[in-house]
Structure 1
Amino acid sequence: MALISTTPMLEKAKQDQHGIVAFNVHSFDSIFWVLEAAAELKSPVILQTTVGTVQSLGAKNIVAVAKAASEHYNIPTGLHLDHCTNFEVIKEAIQAGYTSVMIDASMHSFQENVVKTNEVMNLARSLGVNVEAELGKVGGVEDDIVVAEEDAQKAIPEECQLFVELTGVPTLAPAIGTAHGIYKGKPEIDFGRIAEIAKLIDVPLVLHGGSAIPDEDVRRCVSLGMAKVNVSTELKNAYSEAIRKHFEDEPENLDPRSYLQKAKEAAKEMAKSKIKMVGSEGKVVPAFV
């Protein structure tokens, strides 16, 4: 199966009231084990990369590997560029074959955010590429984008409505109290704000900072209209911890096939738990395959 736009995938998820997990992948092998996990559960999935990963691996190389893996596992797969502030990098990703991109202009004024989002929309719309934008400021660290806790701002529902009207953006990530990375305390998610935003706009919403949020809270977010749930930190932590444990238990075993297989299995189990959490298990339908 070829890579597909995440727009219809997320619209259907919203309609059917389940989520789709967008897993950050940081290496070529991670693309395969994320899709293997999704295939075993018959779930649509989104691969997403940061700008740093694009710079490290190359957009064309990522697309080639993602296409090969998607065709091998034969499940609906989107490829998303996350949190990008640079139009030229977005353009590169689209030209390479990404099916979804995020323009993050949330650090600018509302008006400037609209202008920058429309610039990307003008490029992506005719190609069927999904565009994601952000309103408010999600706290935490994502590559070189750092938003201190005191600077995080929640999205204003009326501004979300106006923003979608002015841009036509098909997916929106409103800041609702989550943060990137692992939480130091219990996340203070503003469920009422999600519900209010969802009443005002029809497009699927995106939950950023999905790592380590209690499952019941994520499910509630999904039920309120958060169709895309981003997971990064927990996935790479599971992978890395398995490698660390291997060398603690078997310091003389330097065979990469041994420790990488353990890391893969740990990450796959984490991915599967997230897919089950959002309710997308078994959601691959004939229209997609």
Structure 2
Amino acid sequence: MKLAIATLLIGSAAAFAPAATPMRNSALSMSTETTTEKAFAKLPASIKPGVVTGPALVDLLDAAKEQGYAIPGVNIVGTNSINACMEAAASYGGPIMVTFSKGGGQFIAGKSVNNDADQASIAGTIAGAKHVHEVAALYGVPVVLHTDHCQKAWLPWIDGLLTASEEHFAATGSPLFSSHMLDLSEEPLEENIGICKDYLEKFAKVGILLEFELGVTGGEEDGVDNTDIDSSRLYTQPEEVFYAYEQLSQVENGAFTCAASFGNVHGVYAPGNVDLQPKILMNSQAYIKEKIGSDSDKPMKFVFHGGSGSDVSDIQEAIGYGVIKMNIDTDTQWAFWDGIRAYEAKYHDYLQGQIGNPEADDKPNKKYYDPRMSLRAGEEAMAARLVKAAEDLKCVNVLN
């Protein structure tokens, strides 16, 4: 069942296990704040500009929960959208999560490349991740490298990415990716969490965080189509959240987050057509708190999938119940296109031929049809839309 990965992100470095269990040293649960100089005034010292993994990622998510904001998690399809994400983060003064889908990875490798064994999806996702590693620090913000919905049939994609992270960890002491999402919500709850548990054991060895889904996120996104799903599956129960928490907490040094469904949907929906029930998250927090005897009212960190058409008040209510990341895709896709569309409209008469425009019949138009011009317009529009998203998520000026 899909519990909206955005719904269950564990509370602190210690909260990856029940509160009664002593915190274990690991790539994900051991803070380094006491041994490093702070780069951001409002964040723990472990967090530096560039890709954030391991203990620094845990510290970053803890800060989001404690300070009451959510990080935009943005689906990308190439370096233009990757760079727009980081440009936006530098503008609004907060962290960003760059998210690769299986289809997005394939697009980066090239749609003409054979992908029968996910080789294009694997290669493209790795290539995109390496791009982020090379340039992220230049933007001066924390960047989380994440992968989106991975169904059971797509697990070989994650296997390939895990191999790349293991190699990167052996060479550098950190994984290539910060976190991966396994979306096994179409499977029975026990099978879903059982497979997640197996993968978490592998992730924990190299400092990768697991995001998993319970319940179902409605709508359609990048090959995942739940448009005709039974509406009852759009709402997760606290008992399901706790079962997952209890099982995954048994993994030594395991760090995980959960997307719990509370009526959220993918796709384009007008405000008022989406029936969000954020109190499902509040009830899950209370249930887990009672079960583990936690002192915290928000022992879980939740992530929010499918925010399209959601009222800002509902989004911010969900943040109050422990949501620390919200996925954004539909709106940024439109923004990128709208930027290109506006560019074409503005320079239409300069884009009808290589030579000849309103200024002169023999004047060249190269500087207008140079692909970098229209693509840059798309980047700027996407970045502007993400600044607005960050405002809605209270993620503005949270670094310094």
TM-score, with structure 2 as normaliser: 0.68
Aligned to 1:146: 225
Structure 2 Cα separation of the partners of residues 171 and 148 of structure 1: 25
Tell me the distance in 1 between the aligned counterparts of 2:137 and 2:197: 32
SS of 1:107's partner is coil
Structure 2 Cα separation of the partners of residues 2 and 265 of structure 1 = 21
Deviation at residue 250 of structure 1 after TM alignment: 2.9
Q: Which residue in 2 is equivalent to 1:59?
A: 125
Moved more, 246-255 or 18-27: 246-255
1:109-120 mapped onto 2 (5 Å cutoff): 109-120=188-199
Within the candidate set 323, 326, 344, 1:226 is matched to 323
Query: What does 1:164-175 align with in structure 2 at a 5 Å threshold?
Result: 164-168=245-249, 170-175=256-261
Give, in whole Å, the separation in 1 of the partners of 2:343 and 2:143: 31
One-letter amino acid of the structure 2 residue matched with residue 38 of structure 1: A
Alignment-derived partner of residue 263 in structure 1: 378
Who is 1:71 aligned against? 137
The answer to which structure, 1 or 2, has the higher relative contact order (CA under 8 A, 6+ apart) is 2
Percent identity of the aligned residues? 25
Q: Which residue of 2 aligns with 1:276?
A: 391
CA RMSD of aligned residues (A): 1.7
Unmatched segments (≥5 aa) in structure 1? none
Between structure 1 and structure 2, the one with the greater Rg is 2
Equivalent residue letter for 2:370: D
TM-score (norm 1): 0.93
Alignment of 1:122-137 (within 5 A): 122-137=201-216
More off after superposition, 197-206 vs 132-141 = 197-206
Counterpart for residue 189 of structure 1: 276
Q: 1:4 aligns with which of 52, 57, 66?
A: 52
Gaps of 5+ in 2: 1-48, 109-123, 165-175, 250-254, 289-298, 352-368
> How do 1:187-226 residues align onto structure 2 when only pairs under 5 Å count?
187-201=274-288, 202-226=299-323
Rounded to whole Å, the distance in 1 between the matches of 2:194 and 2:205 is 18
Describe the superposition over 1:192-221 as per-residue Cα deviations: whole angstroms up to 9, x where unpaired: 212111223422101001234222221111
Q: Deviations over 1:170-211 (max 9, x none)?
A: 210001001011115521001221211122342210100123
User: Is the deviation greater in 47-56 or in 194-203?
Assistant: 194-203
Alignment of 1:81-100 (within 5 A): 81-85=147-151, 86-96=154-164, 97-100=176-179
Report the AA paired with residue 265 of structure 2. Answer: A
Deviation at residue 142 of structure 1 after TM alignment? 2.1
1:191 & 1:136 partners in 2: Cα distance?
14
Q: How far apart are residue 113 of structure 1 and its match?
A: 0.5
**1: CA distance between counterparts of 2:342 and 2:95?**
31
